[in-house]
Structure 1
Amino acid sequence: MDTNLALVLVLAPFLGFLINVFFGKSLGKTVSGAIGTLSVVISFAVTIYFFLQINQTQQPISISLFDWIQISNFKVDLGFLLDQLSLLWLLFVTGIGSLIHLYSISYMHDDEKMHQFFAYLNLFVFFMITLVVGSNLLVLFIGWEGVGLCSYLLIGFWYKNQDYNDAAKKAFIMNRIGDLGLLVGIFIIGSMFSTLDYATLKTAIAGATDLNIYALSAAAFCLFIGACGKSAQIPLYTWLPDAMAGPTPVSALIHAATMVTAGIFMITRLNFIFDLTPDVQSLIAIIGAITSLVAATIGLVQNDIKKVLAYSTVSQLGLMFLALGLGAYEVAVFHVITHAFFKACLFLGSGSVIHALHGEQDMRKMGGLRKAMPVTFITMLVSSLAISGVPLFSGFFSKDEILLTAFEHNIPLYVVASIASIMTAFYMFRLMFLTFFKDFRGTEHQKSHLHESPALITFPLIILAILATFGGLISLPGNSWLNSYLAPLFTKVAGEAHHLGTTEYTLMGVAVLGGLVGIFIAYIKYIKQNNVPGEDESITGVTKVLYNKYYVDEAYDYLFVRSINGLSKFFRDYVETSLSALVFGLGKVTNEISYQGRKLQNGSIGLYLFAFVLGLCAIVSYIFLAQ
């Protein structure tokens, strides 16, 4: 029964994809949307069943469908592993995925290719489920590549806009760079242990007496490169803000619950490898902290509402990597969960605003929307409070755990993470004040059509806002259900959440005060002083550097894109020309020989008989002389 249910869990979204691809257009928009949503809801229901079962038995479910690859002593099964980590991940992948599908029914209703959109969404969820439930690295790699493909299809869904096509290609190519690192890491691990199965790897590493730490460190570093690509860490982070080119539900799906969490999932799954490579762990923590700060500074001055949220995502992912690098895997997972709640709500809320303003994304042309859109305003306010670390909201608990862990292990990284957190509070309330407060700054036509979004859009917002409020209860200080639940997965015992003492209370107070300071500065600037960012041409100084994202894209274009284009042009103009001359020359020689040779085939029987007799005489003479 478990095998059949596991197949339902994995294949339900794939079935939804097939139905919408082949029959979606004829079924109609509403039916195709309902089928796409129902397929993910089915996976969510099966996930809940397995989650309750595992929570009761504490025994993981391992399912081997068949032997996939067997070469000498190297063997890989096509199998699933349903344990505490995979089921926890599946809960928010399929749960939030269901809400995003429901939201998309209304949001995408006017799009002529709505059935195709739902087909891609279903395929995306199918590959993400495959990534999470795989029992070995090769199955994970299938899902890993699949979500990369689907991100390309979804980011460039409105392909008539060339900028969107460029953004899709950028995401695909940058992820391929990271994926190469992942593949090399998989090869190294496979050659070292003759297996890619998680359970077998953990046992082999635990029992190894002559472990090659240098090779293991190389493997861990390569795996981290893969994680940098998927989870948008320096230097492979620039694709994620450009991914805003896709429809808003895509942004929510990629940034909140699925693709960007893949790197964190992989490192957490292979914690027993990273625990043995402290140098790589230190690098992960440093890269995470720097990414968090760099992205936060860029988010301070962005004017596109989705770009602000995109850089917020990169920054929050940096905090998660900081926790991973410090060995606090359970803390990173905690922030992944709370982030999925409030970031999905924020992205879907921004989509509600964009929907009401007929596609407008520039916050300078918004303002005063809280009266016209009360549900969107309240839900986004709740989520903004959560991401800013305001007490009792979910983000307060998870972010506080990261900062406490950083303080205990590395003070400089704690300072960096704290500054990034203060900036988070500032730019999130900058977004709220510019979007929902003061007077409306758009056109009169937009103003006359302002309205709250339909129920299919606001219902997911309300559910996500509730989760963003109470989601932190799963890991309270001193009484963490999450830590106890995840404890069997880690070689190092996941201790209870920090017991509260004087130091913890002090650090907690500092974090809260920092967040409130960020909110207060935003209030003074955008409410009291009624400051509205100027046009792009008027931006100067440091603000211009931040607004242009430190010119990293321009540097990448100069260093890599132009050089590769120049190299390809050299090969086209010189190398290929020389080779083509050689190839065409050989072709001409062959053609000339065949032209002369075909003259012998003139249809004359007498000539053929003469050649036959002449040839036979030559053969007989050769044999006679040889004797």
Structure 2
Amino acid sequence: MYNFLAFIPLLPFLGFFILFLAGRYLSRTMIAIIGTGTISIAALLTIVLWIQYLQSPPPNGAYTQTLWHWFNTSSFSSTITLRLDSLSLTFVFVITFVGALIHLYSAAFMQHDRDYARFFASMNLFVCSMLILVLADNLLLLYLGWEGVGLCSYLLIGFWYETPANNRAANKAFYLTRIGDTAMAIGLFLIFQELGTLDIQQIAASAPMHFNIGSPTITAIALLLLAGGIGKSAQLPLQTWLPDAMAGPSPVSALIHAATMVTAGVYLIARMHIVFQLAPIAMNITAVIGALTLLVAGCSAMVQTDIKRILAYSTMSQIGYMFLALGVGAWGAAIFHFFTHAFFKALLFLAAGAIIETLHHEHNIFRMGGLRTRLPLVFWTFLAGAAALAALPFITSGFFSKDQILWYSLTANNGNPLLWLIALSGALITAFYTTRLILVVFWGEPKTHIGAPPNGLMTIPLLILAILSLTAGFIEWPHNMIHLTLFSNFVQNTLPATIVNETAIPEAIVQLIAILATLSGVYIGYLLYYRNLSIVERWKQSQGMESLRSFLLDGWRFDHFYNWLFVRPFLFLTSINKSDLFDQINKGIASGSRWMNQLISTTQNGSLRWYLAGVLFGILFILTLQLLL
């Protein structure tokens, strides 16, 4: 079955190719079958490969398949080679399985859109690009998938391009991620300059012998790769594109946040862990960026009113937890949180899309209310995803993965009490804004007329993802409870084990504190948005609290700061430079061309008399020349 590995990215590309060329001639049913079917078959192939990998793993835990030689020069050659190991297999499973559920949901959600074929073509290409990224055996092929993901995010965020705001959101995502992509490209050049290869396995073998730990070159390489991951994964300071990316359809948001683009940075750092282990400064910066992002994004999520923007800031925060885990050396914990997060975040976005569609495209949570009895299936599935996001103890997958990160942020090799306190604060904040979201949307009085509930194609993915949001974490339990570490054992075939330092605080105490923080966040949300609503009303009348709310609602004013620091100076320089010498030369050429055009066009005025006069004048002119010469 390993020989079928190439079909996993090939099938989505085939779906894209057919829909791109012939989509306008196909029925909507056929478009949905092609778009959803290719991803579903890829998901089934992945499940079969996973079973075979567990039963009879390949030698050294990895299988490589070379498809063809890409190019070959005197000093550099590259191949199209796919590599399947425990890390890439985990990502491939999430991408294809969650992607297939999102495509199934989209078949009903987008059925009335006039660009049905273009939507599925772009979604298939998105999945294909992400699969190439995680299966690539060399950094050049990985970068191809990396840029493909960026292109598809631009196409899908601005899918409804008739609205100018959607175009601005797509452009913003494209520009900001290009900053990280450029840094990453420079990092690849440095790697090739130092090691003479972009093959990931050769880099892993030769880097420890070529670089000293903490050397300036390896630190620069790690920081440049980190910058690429920051851009794609929307971490500080390149995080401002993600909330605006909610301009795209809800299935696009689910795919970006759960299975594709924002997790690319996590994969890159995990895949290049050898480089980061040789650069302790880069590891520390990764942890700090993750900790700050999870706190900043969580605070903004507390005051948002758009249901999708709440979930967007939540994604930034949860990816921050993954970066924190990577930075402290808890590689397996970061990937485990990616695994569980994919299910409950896809569920939340798809359920939010069902709510928005049912309420006639209403996004404001304070114009919803009362949906607990009016949309019971959406309520219960959304509640399962929200409980996993809040990490309710012992009954949700989010608890098991976040508990690992909290423990390792304190006890891992690069962990410290400050990082743990920030992560703990983030857990409380997450539980608070999740409770706020549930109470405002599903309790209270109805405020908007409800339309037709979601149909079967939309509810099936919700039910499957709800079950996984509750149960997927049971494969990995805390060490002091049940010795069940199936996921850690699986990924440690590729990633190094986490080094835990001795600590005076027992793990059970740390877990109890984390559980109390989560339950405190739930209680505060219940108190403010259900039991005693007057507290929030009094805060709204306070100028200081309202100013703080406005500051957090605007994403800590990062956009205003960047506008003042970069955009305005750039526009000022272009304004004073718009009439320089070169512009005048170009304008002169254009003016001369227009004058010559007008002059010559008079000879083609359509008048027969002028044409005859011109012919006679020409004959006389030629005869005169002959007489004179």
Identify whether the pair has TM-score above 0.5, normalized to the shorter chain.
Answer: yes
Q: Indicate yes or no: 2:45 matched with 1:46.
A: yes
Alignment of 1:470-619 (within 5 A): 470-478=471-479, 479-490=484-495, 492-494=496-498, 503-530=506-533, 540-580=546-586
- When structure 1 is superposed on structure 2, of 47-56 and 209-218 the one drifting more is 209-218
Picking from 78, 81, 101, the partner of 2:80 is 78
Instruction: Return the offset for 1:440.
Output: 0.8
- Cα RMSD, aligned residues only: 2.7
Contact 1:65/1:77 (8 A) holds in 2: yes
Contact 2:297/2:317 (8 A) holds in 1: yes
Alignment of 1:189-208 (within 5 A): 189-208=191-210
CA distance in 1, matches of 2:371, 2:109: 19
Picking from 430, 437, 444, the partner of 1:438 is 444
CA distance in 2, matches of 1:475, 1:419: 24
Q: Deviations over 1:585-607 (max 9, x none)?
A: 9999xx9xxxxxxxxxx989x99
- Given the two structures, how large is their TM-score scaled by the length of structure 1? 0.89
Alignment of 1:60-99 (within 5 A): 60-99=62-101
Change (3 A) 1:230 1:532: farther
Alignment of 1:443-462 (within 5 A): 446-447=449-450, 449=451, 451-462=452-463
Change (3 A) 1:480 1:568: same
| Count of aligned pairs between the two proteins | 590
Q: Indicate yes or no: 2:304 matched with 1:333.
A: no
Counterpart residue identity of residue 421, structure 1: A
Contact 2:388/2:469 (8 A) holds in 1: yes
CA distance in 2, matches of 1:19, 1:65: 22
CA distance in 2, matches of 1:109, 1:585: 51
Change (3 A) 1:74 1:111: same
Instruction: Return the offset for 1:582.
Output: 7.9
Contact 1:483/1:494 (8 A) holds in 2: no
Change (3 A) 1:170 1:533: farther
Change (3 A) 1:582 1:77: same
* Counterpart for residue 368 of structure 2: 366
CA distance in 2, matches of 1:480, 1:502: 22
Q: Indicate yes or no: 2:232 matched with 1:230.
A: yes
Q: Deviations over 1:352-410 (max 9, x none)?
A: 11011010000010000010111111111111111111112111011111110111121
Contact 2:329/2:498 (8 A) holds in 1: no
* Counterpart for residue 623 of structure 1: none
Contact 1:17/1:120 (8 A) holds in 2: yes
Change (3 A) 1:581 1:38: closer
CA distance in 2, matches of 1:581, 1:513: 70
Contact 2:330/2:497 (8 A) holds in 1: no
Runs of 5+ unmatched residues, structure 2: 598-620
Change (3 A) 1:251 1:341: same
Instruction: Return the offset for 1:564.
Output: 2.2
Q: Indicate yes or no: 2:50 matched with 1:31.
A: no
Change (3 A) 1:267 1:603: farther
Q: Indicate yes or no: 2:407 matched with 1:404.
A: yes
For 1:477, what is the secondary structure of its paired residue? coil
- Given the two structures, how large is their TM-score scaled by the length of structure 2? 0.89
Contact 2:528/2:536 (8 A) holds in 1: no
CA distance in 1, matches of 2:104, 2:334: 28
Change (3 A) 1:476 1:39: same
* Counterpart for residue 301 of structure 1: 303
* Counterpart for residue 347 of structure 2: 345
Counterpart residue identity of residue 375, structure 1: L
* Counterpart for residue 158 of structure 1: 160
CA distance in 2, matches of 1:582, 1:80: 55
Instruction: Return the offset for 1:160.
Output: 0.8
CA distance in 1, matches of 2:444, 2:28: 38
Counterpart residue identity of residue 179, structure 1: D
* Counterpart for residue 265 of structure 2: 263
Q: Deviations over 1:62-121 (max 9, x none)?
A: 112222233334322121111111111010100000000000011111111111111111
Change (3 A) 1:134 1:573: same
- When structure 1 is superposed on structure 2, of 573-582 and 364-373 the one drifting more is 573-582
CA distance in 2, matches of 1:425, 1:499: 29
Contact 2:369/2:445 (8 A) holds in 1: yes
Alignment of 1:14-29 (within 5 A): 14-29=13-28
Contact 1:364/1:532 (8 A) holds in 2: no
Q: Percent identity?
A: 40
CA distance in 2, matches of 1:55, 1:294: 40
Counterpart residue identity of residue 428, structure 1: T
For 1:488, what is the secondary structure of its paired residue? coil
CA distance in 2, matches of 1:11, 1:563: 46
CA distance in 2, matches of 1:455, 1:531: 40
Instruction: Return the offset for 1:282.
Output: 0.2
CA distance in 1, matches of 2:342, 2:329: 21
Q: Deviations over 1:506-530 (max 9, x none)?
A: 1111111111111111111111124
Change (3 A) 1:536 1:125: farther
CA distance in 2, matches of 1:585, 1:247: 46
Contact 2:213/2:278 (8 A) holds in 1: no
* Counterpart for residue 602 of structure 2: none
Picking from 317, 324, 330, the partner of 2:319 is 317
Instruction: Return the offset for 1:571.
Output: 3.0
CA distance in 1, matches of 2:453, 2:70: 52
Change (3 A) 1:561 1:500: closer
Alignment of 1:256-295 (within 5 A): 256-295=258-297
Change (3 A) 1:577 1:34: same
Q: Deviations over 1:218-251 (max 9, x none)?
A: 1110000000000000010000000000000000
Change (3 A) 1:218 1:209: closer
CA distance in 1, matches of 2:285, 2:374: 47
Counterpart residue identity of residue 580, structure 1: N
Contact 1:76/1:195 (8 A) holds in 2: no
Counterpart residue identity of residue 418, structure 1: L
CA distance in 2, matches of 1:213, 1:263: 23
CA distance in 2, matches of 1:123, 1:311: 26
Counterpart residue identity of residue 20, structure 2: V
